[in-house]
Amino acid sequence: MSGSMITYYQFKRVVDATVAGLALLLLLPFMLPIMLWIKLDGGPIFYGHTRVGKGHKLFKCWKLRSMVCDSDQLLATYLQQNPQAAAMWTHHRKLSHDPRVTGVGKWLRKTSLDELPQLWNVIRGDMAIVGPRPVTSTELTEYYHFYADCYTSVRPGITGLWQVSGRSKTSYDQRVMLDVKYAHAHNFKMDLAILWKTPRAVLMRSGAY
């Protein structure tokens, strides 16, 4: 690895941790009423799901809970009873009308506020602010195949090429290619371009279900 790339990774890690720490501190007063809203809706406030990080290291990716507590069982039943939804799930790993999402969860997902706890993942070093989307071990095995090592060469990010390239409007194969493209070619210029496009993608709810 060249000296310039070492500098890039080191600098990116310092910037990520600093920005995430400041953002979490500033956003905490705003997050408190949202957390109370989720709690009043029933169930835990946070949801941690095991994802694959850099070097194939597993970690808990944290979100504000946007689904019902028995979401896995509900999803299996729903897909079994709805072939069209099952086909959409296979193609996108997303549903346009997800029965698991709570009332507050719909709002959280449309605004991407459910992902705010991932700032803690960035501080811990599990994630970066910009990177591929964090995936599960099953997704990595089923969809990434020989690209798995490429994907795990970088930290997954809160935002990335997928988020600013149509999100749920893209197929899962396209998502894989976007992740691989970032892992191969990421640099300061690409990171800044993605960060520049992210607010508009969130505000316009580009491709969000």
> β-strand 128-130 against 157-159: which pairing, if any?
parallel
In tens, the pLDDT along 121-132 reads: 999 999 999 999
Burial (CB count within 10 angstroms: exposed 0-12, middle 13-18, buried 19+), residue 47 = buried
| 84 inside domain | no
Question: Is residue 207 within 8 Å of 169, Cβ to Cβ?
Answer: yes
**Using the 8-state DSSP alphabet, how is residue 134 labeled?**
P
Secondary element (H or E) of residue 178: helix 172-185
| 184 inside domain | yes
Question: Is residue 112 within 8 Å of 63, Cβ to Cβ?
Answer: no
* Range of the structural domain that residue 176 is part of: 3-66+101-203
Task: Say yes or no to pLDDT of 181 above 50.
Answer: yes
Residue 169 phi/psi, 5° resolution? Answer: -75, -15
| 86 inside domain | no
Tell me how many domains the chain contains: 1
In tens, the pLDDT along 19-57 reads: 999 999 999 999 999 999 999 888 899 999 999 999 999
Comparing CA positions, the residue from 19, 13, 9, 53 lying closest to residue 187 is: 9
Task: Say yes or no to pLDDT of 3 above 80.
Answer: no
Give me the residue label for tokens 């953002």.
23
| 71 inside domain | no
pLDDT score at 1: 44
| 80 inside domain | no
| 111 inside domain | yes
Q: What is the mean pLDDT of residues 104-110?
A: 89
- Give the 3-state secondary structure of residue 158: strand
What are the CA-CA distances from residue 204 to residues 86, 88, 111, 197, 209 (Å)?
27, 22, 9, 11, 12
| 193 inside domain | yes
Task: Say yes or no to pLDDT of 208 above 60.
Answer: no
In tens, the pLDDT along 134-156 reads: 999 999 999 999 999 999 999 99
| 82 inside domain | no
What confidence tier does 87 reach under pLDDT thresholds 50, 70, 90? confident
Question: Is residue 167 within 8 Å of 204, Cβ to Cβ?
Answer: no
- Single-letter amino acid, residue 49: H
